A and B are shown apart, each in its own frame.
Chain A
Amino acid sequence: MGTEILRRSRALFDRMLLADNAYAFLFKPDDSDEVVSLDCETSGFNILADDVISIAAIKIRGNRILTSETFRALVRPGAAMDVSAIKVHQLREADVKMGRTIREVLPEFLHFIGGRPLIGYWVSFDVRMLNKYLYSMLNIHLPNRQIDVSQLYYDRKYSKAPPGTEIDLRYAAIADDLNLSMLPQHDAFNDALTAAQMYVILKDLQRRGARIPRQRATPRSGDFSV
């Protein structure tokens, strides 16, 4: 609750500081009844030093994932790419060279998402990454509400769990519990699509008050505690 108040007050503040009034729509109350699943691939995990190299976003209306209305962009990074990150998403510098600059991509992206809530797995990282550019362009942060699928998953599975329960919020664990076959990971579009599927299923479980059963913690061979 505290974070929500914080978000709203920062949004109010940002609205005043907004550099370009053409983007005032970002701050209008959202009446589309849609959310947007978002995923960015980055050149590394350091928000200050690394760059976004691809963005994918998919709209979700109710129980329908609108894969026919998607946003996808490759971004040409300013900084050199980190070798460890290339190994993760397999986009080499040569691949992203085809991309456009973030200054070109961002306006389209903002028009695509509008005021819709953003969902994703660890979505705050993606948002902070994008905020870095947004702040320098428009003097604001993304005001959109954020919904993290790992939070929804936690609520369905681990809320009211007895103390000492081992909590596993890994992406693979969620996909496994929801019986989702994993698309090849670390492609922005696939990750956004998987997150979207997680979202519609978890929202439905929430509506029906259904919970995900927890396995009794039986240590498997090979497991060890640290």
Chain B
Amino acid sequence: MPQAFDVQNPPFDRLSHDEISTLRAAIDIGYFPPGDTIIATGQRSESLHVVIKGRVEERDGDTIESGLGPKDTFDARSLVHGPAATSFVAAEETLCYLLPKAVVLDLIAKNPGFAAFFYSEISRKLRSYDRRDREGVDSALRAHVRDVRYHAAIFVDGATSLHDAGQLMQDRNNNTLFVRDGERVGIVTGANLAKAFVLDRKPLEAPVREVSHFEVASIGADDFVFAAVIAMTRHNKRRLAVRSDGEYVGVLEDIDILGLVAGNPQLIPGQIEQARAPAELKSCALDIQSQVERLHRQGARVEVIAEITSDLNRRLFAKLFDMIAPPSIRQHGCLLVMGSEGRGEQTVRTDQDNGLLLAHPVPEADLQAFRDAFTNALESFGFPPCPGDVMVRNPRWSQPIDDFLKQVEGWVRASDQEGPMNLGIFFDAVSVTGHHELLDRAKTTMVEMMRGETAHLARFARAIDLFAGASASVLTSIMASVGVGSDEIDVKKAGTFPIVHGVRTLAIDQGIREVSTARRIEVLAEAGLFGADLGRELTSALGYFMEIRLRSQLAAMATGRRDRESIVKVGELTTRDRDLLRDALRVVKRFREIVRNRYHLSVF
């Protein structure tokens, strides 16, 4: 009964004290020399193995599916579900705990939490795990007041009329004004005004000083947020004046603190509406981005975060378009977002994929000015430029629809790699504002060009193998093929892309006009292109890839290394995440095979 057996290691952390004692008493330790087959394909395993030291490779024929190291568990499948589909071979001298099958099966029957680990479907596994490691409210409370988005201070003179004060509050969307009255400075709020009219029946012309209060509760901009919370409680106030260098610089409301902790995306559309110049949209853009982290911390599912984010981004784009597009373009144009932005699957901004379709040619000077202004504005908001130059700035992506369709036809026929990538990005387009029917027409034409044309579809589908090496050898040393280290995996290339692109191909094939990958999968499953089971697995796997990518993106932002945003270091994942990642990559592999077979990609 090895005391050293780590019961904190999932899934064993789910066992009760008594169950652990039962398990410990039954554990043996096995030694496997290098090259030794621990579980052969088609064999049923008699024990669950937990690696103590050494390395084990999971092999499918000659391909190495995955590598397992200390604390990894195998093979839940062949223990519970039947003969092993893959073999497990010791890659070096390996010691494993051997947990007898009878004992494990007994624990599965008794303990549902433990049993979840052995589900065969990643979708069920994900549902059963509460995977969130919450950072809690603590970190938010230890932020500085200066980091909270409080309202900037607006000063009025004490002699200002109540009416003018109310109008100013309305115009500036700020419910609190600072009132200068000689030497003193006070505060007046919307509630004070209301009370003045309703209860005290003051005339509209009365000076605002009569309803202001001059005992101002305040907090320093460099104080901690928790100090602000304490001050609000002590003074029984819902807002505090913010001081910096002896001046009042703003007002901090309780709702602002709530936003810091919980995220409050519902406030952003209002801010976007209120903005009157592109520069004012910048703070909205920053807010949208900071929501991502807060919503993630709050425990929102990544699909939901992506949906909220893309909805807000689209409002922002539409507003910006209204601000800077000249009448000629507003009259004839349709603004598009494409790629992941179009599918609504982007969380942290990685690039801007946008374009413009025009019903008729417009004056070249108008168009050129708009191209530069729009792209530059987004860049100044912190949207990184698209590496593939899929942006309004690029004339290729902002032109009259007839010219654009000629371009599309060129992509359909071209034999280079760029064609399929551009078509893919465009097929994911949604219109943000303007003439939606232009996009409809362009997409219909594109789908008609490709549907039923096996050669075109196959050429398009082929891109699914772009990074094929990445998943065949996941977690092992062949990762060099995608330019990352041996225990690193690029989840975008190995996971997200093959699913998105495969689904996209089938959607064109079937003429499906849904845009989000999850919806496309549903429709494809209904149409019978694959089973509902695989459909569910694909959606779960995609969600899981997005989730771990978001985590590494947030980490990359914190460390300022954006080039690493989709790289996950396998060694830093928990056992449970490694297990889920393996399962998700298996789903990718299965799906890739379906696509390869359908378009006979093996002949290329």
- The interface of chain A, by Cβ under 8 A from chain B, is 63-68, 70, 178-181, 183, 189-190, 193, 196-197, 200-201, 204, 207-208
Contacts and interface: CB of A to CB of B under 8 A. Distances in A.
Given A183-B4, A193-B2, A201-B93, A67 B53 contact: no
A63 B25 CA distance: 19
B541 to A, nearest CB: 35
Contacts of A201: 31, 93, 95
Contacts of B105: none
A63 B28 contact: no
B437 to A, nearest CB: 67
B30 interface: yes
B78 to A, nearest CB: 19
A204 B93 CA distance: 9
A67 B93 contact: no
B33 A204 contact: yes
Contact of A68 (B25, B31, B33): B25
B267 interface: no
A200 B31 contact: yes
Contact of B29 (A67, A178, A190, A208): A67
Interface string B21-53: 000011111111100000000000000000001
B4 A64 contact: no
25 contacts: A63-B30, A63-B33, A64-B30, A64-B31, A64-B98, A65-B30, A67-B1, A67-B2, A67-B29, A68-B1, A68-B27, A181-B53, A189-B3, A190-B3, A190-B4, A193-B2, A193-B4, A193-B29, A196-B29, A197-B31, A200-B31, A200-B95, A201-B93, A204-B31, A204-B93
Given A201-B93, A204-B33, A208-B33, A64 B28 contact: yes
B34 to A, nearest CB: 8
A65 B1 contact: no
Contacts of B25: 68
A207 B33 CA distance: 10
Contacts of B3: 189-190
9 smallest beta-carbon distances between A and B, as pairs: A65-B29, A200-B31, A63-B31, A204-B33, A64-B30, A67-B2, A68-B26, A68-B28, A66-B28
Nearest to B54: A179
Interface of B: 1-4, 25-33, 53, 93, 95, 98, 100
A15 to B, nearest CB: 33
Contacts of A179: 53, 93
Name the residue among A64, A68, A183, A204 with the largest chain B CB count within 10 angstroms. Answer: A68
B1 A70 contact: yes
B33 A180 contact: no
Contacts of B31: 63-65, 197, 200-201, 204
Contacts of A190: 3-4
A64 B29 contact: yes
Given A180-B53, A193-B2, A67 B28 contact: yes
A68 B53 CA distance: 19
B29 A197 contact: yes
Contacts of A67: 1-2, 27-29
Given A183-B4, A200-B31, 14 more contacts: A63-B33, A64-B28, A64-B29, A68-B28, A70-B1, A179-B53, A190-B4, A193-B29, A196-B29, A197-B29, A197-B31, A197-B95, A201-B95, A204-B33
Contacts of B26: 68
B74 to A, nearest CB: 17
B562 to A, nearest CB: 37
Nearest to B2: A67
Nearest to B47: A64
Contacts of A183: 4
A54 B124 CA distance: 48
A110 B315 CA distance: 82
A178 B31 CA distance: 13
A204 B32 CA distance: 9
A67 B28 CA distance: 5
A190 B100 CA distance: 22
Contacts of B30: 63-65
A68 to B, nearest CB: 5
Contacts of A197: 29, 31, 95
A190 B29 CA distance: 13
A85 B478 CA distance: 52
Nearest to B70: A181
B56 to A, nearest CB: 14
Nearest to B4: A183
Name the residue among B2, B25, B26 with the largest chain A CB count within 10 angstroms. Answer: B2
A197 B28 CA distance: 12
Contacts of A208: 33
Nearest to B27: A67
A70 B28 CA distance: 10
Nearest to B103: A68
A189 B4 CA distance: 11
B71 to A, nearest CB: 12
Name the residue among A64, A183, A189 with the largest chain B CB count within 10 angstroms. Answer: A64
A97 B93 CA distance: 41
Contacts of A63: 30-33
B65 to A, nearest CB: 24
A70 B25 CA distance: 10
Contacts of B27: 67-68
A84 to B, nearest CB: 26
Contacts of B33: 63, 204, 207-208
A68 B97 CA distance: 11
Nearest to B98: A64
A210 B57 CA distance: 22
Contacts of A68: 1, 25-28, 100
A200 B30 CA distance: 9
Name the residue among B27, B29, B33, B95 with the largest chain A CB count within 10 angstroms. Answer: B29
A198 B27 CA distance: 18
A65 B30 CA distance: 6
A63 B33 CA distance: 9
A204 B98 CA distance: 19
Contacts of B28: 64-68
Contacts of A204: 31, 33, 93
Nearest to B92: A179
Nearest to B53: A179
A198 B53 CA distance: 13
A165 B4 CA distance: 36
Contacts of B29: 64-65, 67, 193, 196-197
Nearest to A179: B53
A68 B100 CA distance: 10
A207 B25 CA distance: 31
A189 B27 CA distance: 15
A156 to B, nearest CB: 12
A200 B36 CA distance: 14
Name the residue among A67, A181, A208 with the largest chain B CB count within 10 angstroms. Answer: A67
Nearest to B33: A204
Nearest to A199: B31
